[in-house]
Amino acid sequence: MTLLSLSKVEKRYPGVKALDGVDFHLREGEVHALLGENGAGKSTLVKVMTGALDGDAGTMTYLGKPLKLKSTAHAQSVGISTVYQEVNLLSNLSVAQNLYLGREPKKFGLIDWKRIHRQSRAVLERFALDIDVTQPLSNYSVAVQQLVAIARGVDMSAKVLVLDEPTASLDAGEVEQLFGVLRELKSKGIGIVFITHFLDQVYSVSDRITVLRNGTLVGEFETAQLPRKALVGHMLGKELQEAAHRSGTREARAAGEALLEAADVSVQGSLQPTSLTVNRGEAVGLAGLLGSGRTEVCKAVFGVDKVSSGKLTFKGSERRFRQPADAIAAGLALCPEDRKTSGIVGPLSIRENIALALQARRGWWHPMSRAEQQRLAERFIEELQIATPDADKPIEQLSGGNQQKVILARWLATEPELLVLDEPTRGVDIGAHAEILKLIKKLCSQGMSLLVTSSELEELVAFSDRVAVMRDRRKVAEIEAGDISEDTIMRAIAEA
Ligand SMILES: Nc1ncnc2c1ncn2[C@@H]1O[C@H](COP(=O)(O)OP(=O)(O)OP(=O)(O)O)[C@@H](O)[C@H]1O
Ligand SMILES: [Mg+2]
């Protein structure tokens, strides 16, 4: 039976037609993947079906009757529950408060905290999440926050559950937990809309697929009958170029002199003594599970976290960056993993967002001219294929993946000698993914060095000259060029 149907939905933003006559059908008891490149219109469609956004035209049928949603609260009250792409929880409230916000169980007119805490623990148990539910949400990692957001969505006795890129910050184990819960919900007849850029996940969990491209519907498919290459072809509107997906080992390159050397560097409470060298023109991959210490290495190198012991050498002299500004001045750049909190300045334009780091590096008393900012922005919009009509659009109006590209552009613009990228392709579609990898290689050939974390083995294999493997907040192995493969990395991560 069809639970939810959308017909001929349109949504126009200034300069963009985000949705152009799109149909979508969700059946009872299915996981329906909604796919497409960055900016294809996935989040917009989801916002229309969950009452967050009013379409300009189109109709919606729910449980056999026409339905006009007035708000997300309205959608929720009829059983349509959502977890949006950017976590929308209140990080200073406790985990339990977030789970029951706006629907707190009461006893004698008062909020029944005991019950909230008990129920919260039970809900999170399904995700194998054993955390203190009375602590503020901000005490936990992005991944845990994401799971809490999902748990909140799942718990609302919904008939339709919409998940917009829920797995972007989860590690493999957490993804499995989530999929377990999704399969259980499916068996109860709940219809699930699932947006992701991970094709493996599409094939492991979805029953059907809807593909969007540039705001239009490409088609609706049975997952089992759609080969992967055909799917990618539908998303890109062309055949996938083979070069974008090189795998296997690469040849060792004559390494330049050491640019960055960390000798037994540790950070109190987050990083065990770790040694690591990045040579000039080299791309060093940081592999490991979520929470293994990858991000901590990036932060220590860049002066975000205070190094408590060990020695950091950059360009031959010992350095101890007290704050990111010192690192930037020395020629480093860090593109962080959590773009929402440490990256975008929402109301500023793409142009201003791109120019920001370069401006900071030059000093604010040498303001860049608008024309120079414009040239810079146009160059990167072109190089990274940022989907926008112009450079003046506020960054908050871009799709999630395109925001990620803007942040990357901001740091590339400073032409750093060492660029530290923490998960550069998270939430980025398959076409841009290939562009970013190509760019990484080009930058290295021009003499820039890179330290890049990634959860995707294929990606690490494609760009790394060397891979450092992290586990339990320390480096446990290093794999040299000739030996790099998905298999060797996986084994190094897993080895006890
Ligand atoms: N609030 C807004 N104002 C103006 N334009 C917007 C707004 N929100 C989205 N858009 C535009 O609408 C188009 C579709 O965006 P949408 O967020 O739906 O893409 P998406 O498929 O979810 O992409 P991603 O994979 O990057 O998350 C994009 O061109 C985007 O720039
Ligand atoms: Mg989106």
Q: Which has more pLDDT, 153 or 469? A: 469
Q: Which has more pLDDT, 361 or 306? A: 306
| Tokens found for residue 93 | 């409230």
Question: 285 and 198 share a domain?
Answer: no
Question: 180 and 270 share a domain?
Answer: no
> Which of 79-88, 262-271, 309-318, 383-392 shows the lowest mean pLDDT across its residues?
79-88
Question: 233 and 263 share a domain?
Answer: no
Q: Which residues surround ligand 2, an ion (CB under 5 A)?
A: 43, 85, 399-400
Domain boundary among 207, 240, 273: 240
Question: 204 and 58 share a domain?
Answer: yes
Q: What is the mean pLDDT of residues 9-13?
A: 95
What CATH number should be reported for the domain holding residue 56? 3.40.50.300
Supply the pLDDT for residue 238: 63
Which stretch, 202-216, 255-269, 476-490, has highest mean pLDDT? 202-216
Q: What is the mean pLDDT of residues 418-447?
A: 81
- Contacts (Cβ under 8 Å, ≥6 apart) of 59: 6, 7, 8, 66
Question: 453 and 306 share a domain?
Answer: yes
Question: 229 and 281 share a domain?
Answer: no
424 lines ligand 1 (CB under 6 A): no
- Band of pLDDT at residue 241, cut at 50, 70 and 90: very low
Question: 408 and 265 share a domain?
Answer: yes
431 lines ligand 1 (CB under 6 A): no
403 lines ligand 1 (CB under 6 A): no
d(CA 351, CA 358): 12
Q: Compute, in angstroms, the gap from residue 43 CA to the centroid of ligand 1.
A: 7
| Tokens found for residue 477 | 């192995």
350 lines ligand 1 (CB under 6 A): no
Q: Compute, in angstroms, the gap from residue 415 CA to the centroid of ligand 2.
A: 29
In a domain, 253, yes or no: no
| Tokens found for residue 356 | 């920001």
In a domain, 38, yes or no: yes
Does the pLDDT value for residue 397 go beyond 70?
A: yes
pLDDT tens readout for residues 208-224: 999 999 899 999 999 99
Classify residue 321 as exposed, middle or buried by CB count within 10 Å of its CB (0-12, 13-18, 19+): buried
Using an 8 Å Cβ cutoff, are 424 and 433 in contact?
A: no
What type of residue sits at position 84? Y
Using an 8 Å Cβ cutoff, are 464 and 457 in contact?
A: no
196 lines ligand 1 (CB under 6 A): no
In a domain, 473, yes or no: yes
* pTM of the entire predicted model: 0.67
Q: Which has more pLDDT, 127 or 209? A: 209
d(CA 22, CA 282): 45
- The DSSP secondary-structure symbol of 349 reads B
402 lines ligand 1 (CB under 6 A): yes
Structural domain of residue 396, as residue ranges? Answer: 258-494
Question: 173 and 285 share a domain?
Answer: no
Q: Which atom of ligand 1 is nearest to the CA of 36?
A: 21
Residue identifier of the C-alpha nearest atom 8 of ligand 1: 397
Question: 270 and 181 share a domain?
Answer: no
- Band of pLDDT at residue 153, cut at 50, 70 and 90: confident
Question: 234 and 362 share a domain?
Answer: no
Q: What is the mean pLDDT of residues 390-397?
A: 90
